[in-house]
Copies of this chain bind each other. A is one copy, B any other.
Amino acid sequence: MSKIPYRLYLTEDQIPRQWYNLRADMKELPDPMINPVTMKPAVEEDLYPVFCRELAHQEMDAETRCVDIPDEVLNIYKIYRPSPLVRAYNLEKALGTPAKIYYKFEGNNTSGSHKLNSAVAQAYYAKHEGMTSLMTETGAGQWGTALAEACSYFGIPLTVFMVKVSYQQKPYRKDVMRTFGADVIPSPSDLTNAGRAILAKDPNTTGSLGCAISEAVERAVTTEGCRYVLGSVLNQVLLHQSVIGLECETAMKLIGEYPDVVIGCAGGGSNLGGLIAPFMRDKLTGKANPHFIAVEPASCPSLTRGKYAYDFCDTGKVTPMAKMYTLGSGFIPSANHAGGLRYHGMSPILSKLYHDGYLDEARSVEQSKVFEAAVYFAKHETILPAPESAHAIRVAMDEAVRCRESGEAKTILFGLTGTGYFDMAAYSSYLDGSMTDTIPTDEALQRGFDSLPKIPGVQEEP
């Protein structure tokens, strides 16, 4: 009988009462967003047409260290949180590693992922500020499902632009969103200028998150009482997702543990940014020195092969520009099965931390290796992981095997962001041996870089 349980659940009153704003402890802040109209640094008011005011404030506020979680948000967190911290005893045994492997499992809610943490917050602020509808985009469908749940709870009509390849690969995802009352539209669509422009160029495009964002933003700013909400990349999202890391920190303290290595998959950065938040604070303040690893798909390698440059967050080039690792908003990733990681850029906070060496390492992995790890993990830990999450599993397993070889008993923590129930077409293609790996050529990357904006005085030559 082991002293540390398989699954450690905090109690309801151990759910954090405040989100943690990592920017308050950063040595240097990310460069400011730039308003594409004025080409000047954006101010909070510039964001009001797109975001709710409180969310615009959270987006820009780099000073407030701890932000109170509203009671109504907390009441929903209590329905599905705290999420368990799991000790992967079976996986450790199967790998024969001396490493201790922990994962924070965020998949035990109907949205199937951590996305609900920010969806609830954003829907709450929209309701609070009297909005009458919301627009968003979704890749794999997890964000859309999470927001559909949150909007259903607060009674706000929601339209979701869903990346076309995911819409096709995951027919039932849209039915879940519809069950929660959302209107789901495959993107690119002919409902927006952004969508029509992309379809005119390439009628057979499978879409991208960047394009879906353009469509959702365009509809939001042209609809009365409507705002746009986004499930990743933004500072406000990382703020809300800090609840993941904070719960991890509390749980690990309870069992006398601290991670040597923290691993998360990174598409836009919402999970990784939330998971590492308190541990990164320790690194920034000199209290500890955990090793952070971001894992991204080889098919969409923004950290490992992208440029650190100003870029639009969307393909339609209507959003403010952010300094981040990016493949260029014109980069169209291949139809990889990890739809949630098919994004050209990376959270500006994580980008800055990576650039400055605090986010220690980024690795890109091919999807066949990812699914190999996913199936192995499922068989030993009984959880069927989402393809996105399996990126972190792959690297956690690699690290554990490295420990076996070196004899080091490291403590590894990774984020298991969600479940793969709606990804069975992908599993099926892996099991059938028909899955292929697509890695962008240097030429494909260059085409993406060519789309980077030129900003006088800042970024003459991308």
Find out whether the CB atom of A179 lies under 8 angstroms from the CB atom of B384: yes
Shortest distance in angstroms between A40's beta carbon and chain B's nearest beta carbon? Answer: 42
Residue on B nearest A84 in the bound complex, by CB: B9
> For residue A447, which residues in chain B have a CB less than 8 angstroms away from its CB?
none
Find out whether the CB atom of B6 lies under 8 angstroms from the CB atom of A431: no
| Bound Cα distance from A384 to B421, whole angstroms | 13
Looking at the complex, which one of B109, B116, B153, B419 makes contact with A379 (CB distance below 8 Å)? Answer: B153
Cβ proximity bits A427-449 to B, threshold 8 Å, 1 near / 0 not: 11001000000000000000000
Q: Does A149 make an interface contact (CB < 8 A)?
A: yes
> For residue A378, which residues in chain B have a CB less than 8 angstroms away from its CB?
110, 179-180
Find out whether the CB atom of B428 lies under 8 angstroms from the CB atom of A175: yes
Q: A7-B79, A79-B90 are in contact. Are A109 and B175 (CB under 8 A)?
A: no
Find out whether the CB atom of B175 lies under 8 angstroms from the CB atom of A427: yes
Q: Which of A5, A181, A383, A421 gathers most chain B CB within 10 Å?
A: A421
Interface positions, chain A 350-384, Cβ under 8 Å from B, are 375, 378-384
Q: Does A425 make an interface contact (CB < 8 A)?
A: yes
Q: Does A152 make an interface contact (CB < 8 A)?
A: yes
Find out whether the CB atom of B178 lies under 8 angstroms from the CB atom of A431: yes
| Bound Cα distance from A419 to B421, whole angstroms | 11
Copies in the complex: 2
Q: Does A176 make an interface contact (CB < 8 A)?
A: yes
> For residue A428, which residues in chain B have a CB less than 8 angstroms away from its CB?
172, 175, 178
Q: Does A48 make an interface contact (CB < 8 A)?
A: no
| Bound Cα distance from A180 to B5, whole angstroms | 25
Find out whether the CB atom of A419 lies under 8 angstroms from the CB atom of B110: yes
| Bound Cα distance from A419 to B175, whole angstroms | 14
Find out whether the CB atom of B110 lies under 8 angstroms from the CB atom of A6: no
Cβ proximity bits A171-191 to B, threshold 8 Å, 1 near / 0 not: 110011011110000000000
Interface positions, chain A 44-80, Cβ under 8 Å from B, are 76, 78-80
Q: Does A95 make an interface contact (CB < 8 A)?
A: no
Chain A interface residues toward B at CB < 8 A: 5-7, 9, 11-12, 76, 78-80, 86, 90, 108-110, 112, 116, 149, 152-153, 171-172, 175-176, 178-181, 375, 378-384, 419, 421-422, 424-425, 427-428, 431
- What are 6 pairs between A and B in contact, CB < 8 Å? A5-B11, A112-B421, A116-B382, A175-B425, A175-B431, A179-B375
With A175-B427, A176-B424 given, name 16 new contacts (CB 8 A): A6-B12, A6-B79, A7-B12, A7-B79, A9-B9, A79-B381, A108-B108, A110-B384, A116-B382, A153-B379, A171-B424, A172-B172, A179-B378, A179-B427, A179-B431, A421-B421
Which 10 residue pairs across A and B have the least CB separation, nearest first?
A: A172-B424, A421-B421, A5-B12, A175-B424, A6-B78, A9-B9, A175-B428, A110-B384, A152-B379, A108-B108
